[in-house]
Amino acid sequence: MQAKRKLPIGIQTFRKIREDHCYYVDKTAYIRRLVNEGTHYFLSRPRRFGKSLLIDTLKELFEGNEPLFEGLAIHAGWDWSVRHPVVSLSFGSGNFKEPGYLQANLMEQLDAIERRAQVTSEYATAPGRFAHLLEALHEQTGQRVAVLIDEYDKPILDALDAPEVARANRDFLRGVYAVIKDSDAHVKFTLLTGVSKFSKVSLFSGLNNLRDLTLSPRYSALCGYTDADLDAVFAPELPGLDRQEIRHWYNGYNWLGEEKVYNPFDILLLFAERRFGAYWFETGTPTFLIETLVARRVGSLALDGMLGSDALLSAFDVDHIATEALLFQTGYLTIQSTEDLGGERYYLLGYPNREVRQSLNRSLLNRLADNPSHGTAFGARLYKLLRVNDFAGLETLFKAFFAGIPYQWHTKNDLADYEGYYASVFYSCFAALGLDITVEDSSSHGRLDMAVVCNDEVYLFEFKVVESAPEGAGLAQLQARGYADKYRGSGRPVHLIAVEFSKATRNVAALEVAPA
């Protein structure tokens, strides 16, 4: 039986993982293919997906540290007699909101590399100094340089709420990155990694020879763990944990490969804590994301089923961030399916797993309630009422919740589609509990607004606005169209629930319930 190893939680150093005998998912077969196929690459993945470890692995490889790679896929096929100089830059830490900090930070990194390599430079600009360093290292060693840049976009992302600084950082980095193309004769390999994919016009106009791996099926598992990885590498950690629940909670990220992948941080914390939790989500509060969704009046129902094209998903810049691109690139939505229309590929986006769906909707709910403690208490109360089918209590609870939404929030989000607005709030309430939810569930009789499964019982919801529908229309529609037919075969109790809203009172007008 395979012995347990140390869990490399938070470790981004390849040498430390190997020398400390930690679990390691071998990605070196992908790396060998990259080096054999080309030179200049770009990869975007959400935070905590193993990008920094990938960069450090490449650094150790090009520096020829053979003992670290013994037993790995690349070991037998790599020429260990050749050692390449490496320029490894990282923008993972620092206060990039401060004007001028980025320039000083890069100068410090270049200074450290020059000092270790005993290279002297008198260039006053970062691009000039960078170019000289690449040429000098090539001349000094006789080998071309591996250029590795981690968190290439963080100086811009960190300053998005200070647009002038973000634009200045972007323009500065454009000049720095352009050096890589101009110094091609001195470069053996390039990889830039980050969370976002800024448009080539805004950031990579001077480095337009990068091969983008973000949606390459052959490299979809370059970062992250597959199901096969869990079964093979982490087999000693699986006993005692429900394998299907692991998939439900954490699997689901898709960059068009045959297999979906897990966020490594989630899996390692699950194995350490032995309980399911929103480990990845809780490491970074998506305040900017939530405020953007609220400002753009994007309801939670619209998130699961967004459509994006290649151009749209890469339309990321300081002055324009498409909602679809923001959600996809930060990992809150992933690709569910693709469709070719008129010669262009479109992607249907959706939540990757329970962790993201539940946590993001809880954050939206807390923002809606304008008080996180109110949102948390509401969720606990809602689950308890569902457990005993206290429908009168449900009506009272929802009325109190809607009454507590600040009037200013209603005014700012005065959506034309009141039914859609209220339905989004209801959806977030149930999604925040992690329940099994289907929206706009189609049948031969029509399309049901929302189906919820809880405690092995089914709740079918129809939403109406009283000012635009006859009284009792929701329950009548549920009964007349036989939405419950497809659920009866499961043997589970089915409840029909019609929820009527009032634009005048901005609240629930009635909640009618009938057995199916």
Spatial CA neighbour of 187 closest among 141, 247, 143:
143
pLDDT of residue 320: 81
pLDDT of residue 86: 98
Global pTM reads: 0.92
pLDDT of residue 226: 97
Spatial CA neighbour of 207 closest among 419, 39, 80:
39
CB 344 within 8 Å of CB 309: yes
Q: What amino acid occupies position 409?
A: W
Fold of 26-219: Rossmann fold (3.40.50)
pLDDT of residue 415: 43
pLDDT of residue 85: 98
- Strand-strand pairing, 436-443 and 446-454: antiparallel
- Residue 79 burial (C-beta neighbours within 10 Å; 0-12, 13-18, 19+): exposed
CATH of domain 370-515: 3.40.1350
Report residue 138 as tokens.
């090539």
**C-alpha span between 218 and 235 (Å, rounded):** 25
User: Tokens 């925040």 map to which residue?
Assistant: 432
pLDDT of residue 200: 60
pLDDT of residue 504: 84
Report residue 182 as tokens.
């101009």
pLDDT of residue 443: 57
**C-alpha span between 8 and 23 (Å, rounded):** 7
Report residue 238 as tokens.
């699986």
- Strand-strand pairing, 40-44 and 86-90: unpaired
pLDDT of residue 146: 98
pLDDT of residue 413: 46
Q: What amino acid occupies position 85?
A: P
Q: Where are the domains of the chain?
A: 26-219, 287-350, 370-515
pLDDT averaged per 10 residues in sequence order, the chain, 516 residues: 92 97 98 96 95 98 98 97 98 96 98 96 94 98 98 93 94 95 96 84 73 95 97 97 98 95 98 97 82 83 86 78 90 94 90 96 81 75 95 94 71 56 86 90 71 94 84 84 84 92 88 90
Q: What is the dihedral of CA 236, 220, 286, 103, to 10 degrees?
A: 110
User: Tokens 């606990």 map to which residue?
Assistant: 380
Same fold: 26-219 with 370-515: no
